[in-house]
Amino acid sequence: MPKQNEIFDVTIIGGGPVGLFTAFYSGMREMKTKIIEFLPNLGGKVSSFYPNKMIRDIGGIPHLSGDELTANLIEQATTFDPTIVLGEQVVEMQRHPDGYFTLTSSNGARHFTKTIILATGFGTLKFVELDLPNAKEFEGTSLHYSISQLDRFKGKHVLISGGGNAAIDWANELEPIAKQVTLIYRKSSFKGIESNVTKMMDSNVNILAPYEIQALKGNNGQLSSIMVHNLTHSFSEEMEVDHLIVNHGFHIDLGPIAEWGMKMDNGTILVDRCMSTSIPGIFAVGDIANYENKLALIAGGFNEGPIAVNSAKVYIYPKDPLTHLYSTHYDPLTKEDKH
């Protein structure tokens, strides 16, 4: 058995928004906490894919960019000095007769913990790429699957392909910046949030539906035009384009964690009202957790994290009463606020 000071109370796998807030609450519960993140930085999907998008569905925050939210969450998560491990993918889990778990990373590193909270999002997300012969030629220069800097599109002709929330959000964000924004979608109706679709419809965004991209034209990585095809009347037309943004969804891969033996449904982990998986001592929160009437918002994950931490606390100390915990009544924080 490892030395007692090497065993953590809680190990959170995933350093995205939900994992970060879970770490804060775990620290406030005075649990010895570790975060293991596959990426070389904290922030998860929000910081990687939506750094400049405005987030408006968290109570008390009218609007905040993905980067700003991530920075705030990292500051909050490190309040109680959790151990943070970056650039490691956990691949194996073993439960020992003494009750603790050993987690092994792909680089051979081992981590010892009494409980595990999975906050992996959907695991590894890979963009569905545009299936055209010369698409690779333009990637990173004028063909984009994510956006980090809006300014590069100022005064440009931008074509967005997709009909979900991401595509519609980018159309609305870029409409006042770009010279012209065109959104192309292979169906006649959109999958995005109603108010965002209405905003786009009422703007100067040029909407082509049902259409699909037929061919890319350009030189040295720079697009000059795109052939688009009308799926209803079966005709094609050529459009002048400086940039193409493709939002066709993601390939989801939970990786080796999916083989740990937890009950799953369609790539997600089934949990009960305590965020417990089918393996005692392992909990799941955020996108990867699946239960009836789940709220698929960051704000919903912020509720799930503390529930999982409380459940982990009860799992470790089943005979100790679990009292309610509020940051406004937590002495170490209230004393700090007075200074």
What does the pLDDT profile of the chain (339 residues) look like in tens digits?
A: 565 558 999 999 999 999 999 999 999 999 999 999 988 889 887 766 667 777 888 888 888 888 899 999 999 999 999 999 999 999 999 999 988 999 999 999 999 999 999 999 877 667 889 999 999 999 989 999 888 788 899 999 999 999 998 899 899 999 999 999 999 999 999 987 898 899 999 999 999 999 999 999 999 999 999 999 999 999 999 999 999 999 998 776 778 898 999 999 988 999 999 999 999 999 999 999 999 999 888 899 999 999 999 999 999 999 999 888 888 878 788 766 655
Mark whether 164 and 80 lie in a shared domain: no
d(C-alpha 274, C-alpha 265), whole Å = 18
> Among 248, 283, 308, which residue terminates a domain?
248
Domain extent for 35: 4-125+251-338
Tell me whether the omega of the peptide bond preceding residue 306 falls within 30 degrees of 0, making it cis.
Answer: no
| Amino acid 155: pLDDT | 96
Mark whether 265 and 241 lie in a shared domain: no
| Amino acid 4: pLDDT | 54
Mark whether 325 and 225 lie in a shared domain: no
DSSP 40: S
d(C-alpha 117, C-alpha 121), whole Å = 12
| Amino acid 301: pLDDT | 93
Give me the number of domains the chain comprises.
2
Count CB atoms within 10 A of the CB of residue 236. Answer: 11
CATH number assigned to the domain comprising residue 168? 3.50.50.60
> Among 248, 265, 280, which residue terminates a domain?
248
The answer to whether 73 and 83 have CB atoms below 8 angstroms apart is no
The b/e string for 138-170 (b: 16+ C-beta within 10 A; e otherwise) is beeebbbbebeeeeebeebbbbbbbbeebbbbb
> Among 248, 272, 295, which residue terminates a domain?
248
Mark whether 134 and 241 lie in a shared domain: yes
Mark whether 137 and 116 lie in a shared domain: no
Mark whether 54 and 65 lie in a shared domain: yes
Helix axes 165-174, 194-201, angle to 10 degrees: 40
The answer to whether 265 and 290 have CB atoms below 8 angstroms apart is yes
The answer to whether 218 and 224 have CB atoms below 8 angstroms apart is yes
d(C-alpha 17, C-alpha 117), whole Å = 14
| Amino acid 326: pLDDT | 84
Mark whether 214 and 181 lie in a shared domain: yes
| Amino acid 337: pLDDT | 62
d(C-alpha 288, C-alpha 68), whole Å = 24
| DSSP character string of 264-286 | EETTEEE--TT-B-SSTTEEE-G
Mark whether 242 and 261 lie in a shared domain: no
Mark whether 219 and 241 lie in a shared domain: yes
Mark whether 223 and 111 lie in a shared domain: no
| Amino acid 101: pLDDT | 97
| Amino acid 1: pLDDT | 54
